[in-house]
Structure 1
Amino acid sequence: MSTSSVSSSYKLSTDANGRLTVTGLSNSGIDTDAAVEALVAAKRVPIDRLETKVETVDKQIAALKEYQTLMQNFRTAVDGLRGKVTFDKSGSAFETKNIFLQTSRLDGGTASSAANLVSISATNQAEVGVRSIEVLRVATQAKVATGAAASQTADLGTAFGGAANSVSGSFDIVNGDGAATTINVSGTDTLQSLRDKINNANTGTTKTGVTASIISVGGTQNYLVLTNDATGEPIQIGNETGGVLSTLGISADGGATFSNVLQEAQTARMAVDGLKDPSRYESHRFANDTASIKSLVSTAPSTGSFTLSTGLGSVAINFDTTTDSLSDLASTINANAAAIGVEASIMDDGGGARLVLKDTNGGQLSVIDSDGLMASLGVDNDLVVERSSNTVSDLFTGMTINLYQAEEGTKINLQVERDLNGVKDQVYAFVDAYNEMRRFYNEQNLTAADGTKSEDAGPLFGNSALKDMNTSLRDAINGDVEGLGIDFAALSAIGITLTSTATLTDPLDKETLQIDESKLNEALLNNFDDVRNLLSFRFTTDNADLSLVSFASTTGYKNGGYNLEVTVAGGVITSAKLDGVDMQVSGTTLTATEGSAKGLKLFFRPGADGTTNSTFSVTQGVASQLYDVADKALASGTGTIAAQLDTFETRTSAWEDQISRMETRLDLYKTRITAKFLRMEESLSQMNSILESLKAQVDAMSSSSDN
């Protein structure tokens, strides 16, 4: 008798719906791990589907963020073209200026290059036009020195030829604000330590404004030099004790005057824009005022006369330039023309001298130059502007002038022009940024020949939010600006058009923009204001006391313009009505809170008490409209892109939570079925043991029977 052993074999599989099928159960061993994995895989199918959805939306989120970056770049590109209002006009490319410099002389001499005389920078506040300056003198720093010291390192007494350690005392340095700092000098001080003390005092909030340095001419010739850090201001030293200023050779009268002046402080002087001073004349600068005029100016007439006239009368002044000096001429004028209010003086001008004539009554002084002496001396009544610094930023609005060198008689013409190339570059930047967005949109929505979604299409294919943003941008691009003449109401007027479909070779270029550069150049050169009106928000009014503060996307054009009625009482605005509707009044700021001008803010300068009526008009240019579209799309929290991202992220977050819960349940399921299989294996093992035992007994009985 024979008995076969029991074994079990099977095959587990899952269908497309995740249902488990068990086949082939036989008497072979069981692969428990494979069974568990198959069962878990069947349960995991819904999780895999959700993970696929999350992956798809993650791609959409990444694509939308890419578009968000493109939109931000686009908003930046149109920002400078939209007419943004800023105090310094820095927000508008149409206000950017270029400066061109040119020099000339009327006396036939050769003018230096403008770059050798000045440098000029301009902000957007600079006014278009031509200005001129003539640099008569540059500002200089005051410099004074000690006497010669035999050593930099020996004590001051020894260094200046006295007894050792004999110099001690103090003196004050007074800064430009009148604050005094005391410099204490001890017997052991050297030239170097005194330098350091003075420089240490030139620090902090009350610094002296004076810097000390040492010039060593030779081993026994060392000078301590004091320099005022500021130009055009004298060095002020006083309150001496111990006679230190005198011993050091700085001042013999306690600082009232200096013994060793290296350079006088002087202001910068300029003649500006042909402005005249009717009551004052001055000559060119000459080496001195005591030499004969003929020796100073060889072309001066030898003898003759000129006439001075004021409201009090006229006086003829005779001269002989072979013997008369500038001082002599001044004395002659004072002796003869005082009765008509004319005073002559010699002005010390940085190592030179000028003859100055003025009407002491402040009236109009006239000079009749009969024989040409005044012309040879360069006498004129140009208005002289003085500044303490060589950096002048308050002469012309929006311009900073750095003076390098004086050249009397040389006129520097400043031509301020609009930066047309800057505007052109900004227009190209706007078009390029728009095309980047449009190409992205086209890529997302690629279709096959039959009109269905192309396999190359992006993850945002058919996305409604993306479509809405593209439509808003396209409408602004293709539309006309309300309120502008027909010739400059659309972008085509300045050479910006849609790429021709007939020449389209790349589907990504569909409805992108192209620029006719020659047409844009012509428009900028000949119709600059029209180009600005086409692109920017524009505000025009008939009232000089009314100006634009800001505008909003809700501020729109109104046919015939707006009527503003402002009432002032006691110098204060008490009410403002726009087309009969109350505006919000805050000091001098008027805000439209409703109607077609909603969001408009105006500044009104109150005049006399009463009611003032004004009219104004506004237009929203293409760049202004495009900026509003981009700004709304990019608005944090409420914008189209933020809302769409929030939708995507909320959806994926919910799915990820669901996946997490399902994963937890799946782990529990796996634990349970694993335990069941283990118990089954234990039972089968016990059964196999019994069977083996029974088989052994049967085999033994069979063997016994055969015997």
Structure 2
Amino acid sequence: MVSSLSSNFALTTDSNGRLTVTGLSGSGIDTQKAVEALVAAKRVPIDRLETKIETTDTQIAALKEYQTLMRDFRTAVDGLRGKVTFDKSGDAFDAKNVYLQTSRVDGKTASTATNLVGITATNNAEVGARSVEILRVATQAKVGTGVANSATVDLGTAFGGAAGSISGSFDIVNGDGAATTITVAGTDTLQSLRDKINNANTGSAKTGVTASIVSVTTGQNYLVLTNDATGKAIELDNETGGVLSGLGISSDGGSTFSNVLQEPQTARLAVDGLKDPSRYESLRFANASASVKSLVSTAPDSGSFTLSTGLGTVAINFNSTTDSLNDIAARINADAGAIGVEATIMDDGGGKRLVLRDTNGGKLGVIDNDGLMASLGVDNDLVVERSSNTISDLFTGMTLNLFQAEEGTKINLQVERNLNAVKDQVYDFLDAYNAMRRFYNEQNLTGADGSKSEDAGPLFGNSALKDMNTMLRDTVNGDVAGLGIDFSALSAIGITIAPTATLTDPLDRETLVIDESKFDEVLLNKPDDVRNLFSFRFSSDNPDVTLVNFGANTSYKNGGYNLEVTVAGGVITSAKLDGQDVEVNGTTLTVTSGSAAGLKLYYRPGDDGTTTSQLNITSGIASQMYFAADKALTAKTGTIEAQLGVFESRNSAAELQIDRMELRLDLYKDRITAKFLRMEEALSRMESIMEALKAQIDAQSSNSDS
């Protein structure tokens, strides 16, 4: 029998979950530790692979950091490369500023320009001077109800009638002609009617009319209807139950309004000194029935003025002490109607204007014999009208927001290049380039003996990083082909490589520095030269040829390119660039090979036949660097993406190998554990036998002694 049990036994579970008891023999061997030691020895290759994976993960993280820096760099040079867009928004060199100034010629003080108008300019705005005079701002139509004694009781009671006496319906017609019916119940109040009207002004078929309540006092309330759009009337129709009349809005079903609070008016402007040869108008006056002398104290007492058209000439006499604008208009129509002159009094939103025009559309002549026309401010400035105070179709690339009219005040708009936008973009380029260069320097730090420094990054000596850095360095150090020698390199505008002798930080090696004063001087005085240095530039001697796009391989050619386009029946039938066929798609020409590959042009067909055009191209530094960065960042095939693919494939292969080795290691562990178990079992049996033999011997010895 077994006389004792080892106290060193252990319970273990194998990879299949089987429970094993070890240490049952008296051998003194720690089976579990022995197995762990053997497995650890076998695991050394796996540990090495895991260390390699960790190293590669560090390289991947560093390369992704560089990838982010390069994306930032690509963005920075994108605004300098001469990108072609419809609105020119992608090119910093096309950014514009607008400067405003007001002036008058009558000695009065002009309001500040920003009190009269707000201007926003896109890159499409054209450099130069413009002028506007705001004669009238656009206004919204406003009509009101009669007075209601309460906003919370039923409408019949509120408007002084029997309870529930106002009911029926009416339509609000929007600007598209769509009608929305407003049903008025006998129990409706001023508040609930307001809410019904406003609820109808939602969704895809808005009425375009907003209702609000004005409470002057507790017993004096009005419902006000306002057209959301300026310059357009409110249109009501299809009244039933006499509700519009009961509310005091209209007595004729909406054809006219009983309580007009504000007439809809268009905005009126005089622009750039343009003239209308067939039409004259006066300033705006408060009253067309009062004597001219009472309106303008400086008007001559009497005299004449002469009107002429292609049909003849007529002199009009006046007496300003007795004649009103209405009288003068009537006299013109009576005396000059025969030569096609018509005079009217225009209601101009709280004022009246005398308007003269040639009904035949010819040139109307006005000779101011005694100064009456001048005193009335009569001129033939071309008047532009718009329904809104936000005007974006007057000047290319500019939006005007009219705030206030001030007749006689000229607002001068000076559109200039926004050179600060260019400067900011150039500094963004410098910062982005230097960030990449510092990253490269950090990865490749060396000691005094030229060997790898312990502070070097995980991408030390990486070929992809080195190739990219070399390409960018060569570009910033090189010249732009096709430019004059004075402005073909960055040094011409004050951008140079940081001098090695002055460096205090090794990470700044070969970064770019800028002489700001030199750069500012060149940018201010020679902006086109700065643009040529950075951007892709295209020109043609044929105005029918327009640049649409360009590519990485579109490059300069000494002497330029010759484009031959053949048109037949108004259609482009063929095109050649320097004798090589160009792809034709309607009016778009695309060069697919050669040194101009990637060039895309719009060609406006003219007369039938073959036309030859001269094209000149240069590719600036920003253009070259953009395409280099873009190529490196291209998915799968780009330099950085390809290197990341190598790293990631390496890790995937190592992880797969580790999985296989771990599986074999588990089998090995199970196998040697089983061997140790069998050994312990054999030793345990031997111990049992020896104990039994010892017991027999001891028994026999005891019997012999007795």
| Counterpart-to-counterpart distance in 1, 2:398 and 2:341 | 37
C-alpha change, 1:304 and 1:505, in structure 2 (3 Å) is: same
The SS at the match of 1:441 is helix
Give 2:21's aligned residue: none
Summarize the Cα distance change of 1:96–1:690 in structure 2 as closer, same or farther, 3 Å threshold: same
Deviation string 1:556-581 (CA, Å, 9 cap, x unpaired) is 11111111111222222111111111
Deviates more, 1:538-547 or 1:330-339: 330-339
The alignment status of 1:286 with 2:315, answered yes or no, reads no
| 8 Å contact from structure 2 (residues 141, 231) kept in 1 | yes
Partner secondary structure for residue 249 of structure 1: coil
The residue that corresponds to 1:531 in the other structure is 530
Aligned residues: 683
The residue aligned with 2:439 is 440
What do the CA deviations read for 1:253-302 (whole angstroms, capped 9, x no partner)?
A: 22222111111111000111111111111111110101111111112222
% identical aligned pairs: 78
Measured after TM superposition, the shift of residue 198 of structure 1 is: 2.4
Moved more, 532-541 or 218-227: 218-227
Q: Are residues 565 and 703 of structure 1, via their aligned partners in 2, closer, same or farther at CA, if it must alter by over 3 Å?
A: same
Aligned pairs for 1:178-327 within 5 A: 178-327=177-326
Structure 2 residue runs of 5 or longer lacking an equivalent are: 1-5, 7-25
CA displacement at 1:129 relative to structure 2: 1.2
Q: In structure 2, do the counterparts of structure 1 residues 157 and 44 end up closer, same or farther at CA, with 3 Å as the change threshold?
A: closer
The 1-side partners of 2:311 and 2:227 are apart by 45
Q: Unaligned 5+ residue runs, structure 1? A: 1-6, 8-26
Residue 503 in structure 1 maps to residue 502 in structure 2:
yes
Q: TM-score, normalised by structure 2?
A: 0.93
SS of corresponding position for 2:70: helix
Separation (CA, whole Å) in 1 of partners of 2:654 and 2:187 = 85
- Counterpart secondary structure, 2:214: strand
What per-residue deviation string (whole Å, max 9, x for no partner) do you get for residues 334-378 of structure 1? 222223322111100012100111111211222222322222211
- Counterpart residue number, 1:111: 110
Name the structure 2 match of 1:13: none
Q: Could you tell me which amino acid in structure 1 is paired with residue 329 of structure 2?
A: A
- Seen in structure 2, the aligned counterparts of structure 1 residues 688 and 185 have a Cα distance that, compared at 3 Å, is closer
Distance 1:258 1:701 in 2: 140
Output the amino acid matched with 1:617: N
2:651 is equivalent to residue 656 of structure 1: no
C-alpha offsets along residues 389-417 of structure 1, whole Å, 9 cap, x if unaligned?
A: 11111111111111111010111111111
1:197 and 1:680 map into 2 onto residues whose CA distance is 96
2:397 maps to a residue whose letter is: G
Alpha-carbon spacing, 1:239–1:28, altered in 2? closer, same or farther (3 Å): closer
For residues 96 and 278 of structure 1, the distance between their equivalents in structure 2, rounded to whole angstroms, comes to 37
**Stretch moving more, 263-272 or 34-43:** 34-43
Give 1:54 deviation, angstroms. Answer: 1.7
Cα deviation 1:577-632 (Å, max 9, x = unaligned): 11111111111110001111111100111222222221111111000000011001
Distance 2:60 2:697 in 1: 73
1:487-513: CA deviation from partner (whole Å, max 9, x where unpaired):
111111111100001112211111110
Quick one: distance in 2 between partners of 1:507 and 1:33?
Answer: 54
Residues 81 and 620 of structure 2 are in contact (CA less than 8 Å); yes or no, is this contact kept in structure 1? yes
- 1:619-669: CA deviation from partner (whole Å, max 9, x where unpaired): 110000000110010000110111111111111111111111111111111
Name the stretch that deviates more: 327-336 or 485-494. Answer: 327-336
Where 1:685 maps in the other structure, the secondary structure is helix
Comparing 572-581 and 149-158, the one that deviates more: 149-158
Q: How does 1:406-425 map to 2 (within 5 A)?
A: 406-425=405-424
Deviation of the 1:188 alpha carbon: 3.2
2:663 alignment partner, SS class: helix
Equivalent runs, 1:469-488 vs 2, <5 Å: 469-488=468-487
SS in 2 for 1:574: strand
Query: Residues of 2 paired with 1:112 and 1:281: CA distance?
Result: 26
Q: How does 1:621-660 map to 2 (within 5 A)?
A: 621-660=620-659
Q: SS where residue 558 of structure 1 aligns?
A: coil
What amino acid maps onto 1:396 in structure 2? F
Match of 2:88 in 1: 89
Match of 2:129 in 1: 130
Distance 2:215 2:654 in 1: 83
In the TM superposition, residue 695 of structure 1 has moved relative to its aligned partner by: 4.9
Separation in 1, partners of 2:60, 2:159? 83
Aligned to 2:13: none
**Match runs of 1:29-108 below 5 Å:** 29-108=28-107
2:581 maps to which residue? 582
Cα deviations by residue, 1:443-479 (Å, 9 ceiling, x for unpaired) = 1111111111111111111111111111111111111
Q: Which amino acid aligns with 2:631?
A: K
Alpha-carbon distance in structure 2 between the residues aligned to 1:40 and 1:201: 81
Aligned to 1:10: none
- Post-superposition CA distance 1:19-67 (Å, at most 9, x none): xxxxxxxx96112122112211221222222222222222111111111
Aligned-partner SS, 1:358:
strand
- Is the 2:27–2:683 Cα contact (8 Å) retained in structure 1? no
* CA distance in structure 2 between the partners assigned to 1:49 and 1:212 by the alignment: 79
Deviates most, 458-467 or 180-189: 180-189
* Aligned-partner Cα distance in 2 for 1:43–1:194: 88
Partner of 1:544: 543
Between the aligned partners of 1:691 and 1:496, the Cα distance in structure 2 is 95
C-alpha distance 267-659 of structure 1, shift in aligned 2 (>3 A): same
**Structure 2 counterpart of 1:494, one-letter code:** I
**1:183: how far off?**
2.8
Offset, 1:696: 5.5
Classify the secondary structure of the residue corresponding to 1:178.
Answer: coil
AA aligned to 1:349 is D
Separation in structure 1 between the aligned mates of residue 514 and residue 196 of structure 2, nearest angstrom: 67
Per mean C-alpha deviation after superposition, the further-off stretch among 212-221 and 453-462 is 212-221
Aligned partner letter, 1:97 = K
Residue identity in the other structure for 1:613:
T
Residue aligned with 1:347, SS: strand
CA distance in 1, matches of 2:79, 2:688: 90
Query: 1:390 maps to what in 2?
Result: 389
Measured in 2, the distance between the counterparts of 1:250 and 1:699 equals 133
CA positional deviation for 1:89: 0.6
- Does the aligned pair in 1 maintain the 2:291–2:324 contact within 8 Å? yes
Q: What SS does the aligned partner of 1:153 have? A: coil
2:321 aligned with 1:344: no
Q: Distance in 1 between matches of 2:333 and 2:617?
A: 63
Query: Match for 2:567: what amino acid?
Result: V
Q: What amino acid is the match of 2:659? A: S
CA-based RMSD of the aligned residues comes to 2.0
The AA in structure 1 aligned to 2:555 is G
Cα distance in structure 1, aligned partners of 2:46 and 2:246? 98
Q: Which moved more, 1:677-686 or 1:517-526?
A: 677-686
In the other structure, the counterpart of 1:377 is: 376
- State the 1:209 CA deviation: 1.5
Aligned to 1:16: none
How far residue 682 of structure 1 moved from its aligned partner, in angstroms, is 2.0
Distance 2:430 2:546 in 1: 31
- SS of the aligned residue for 1:395 comes to coil
Which digits, 9 at most, give the CA deviation of each residue in 1:173-215, with x for residues without a partner?
Answer: 2222222233333433333333233223323333222222222
Out of 321-330 and 676-685, give the one that drifted further: 676-685
- Partners of 2:386 and 2:200 in 1: CA distance: 27
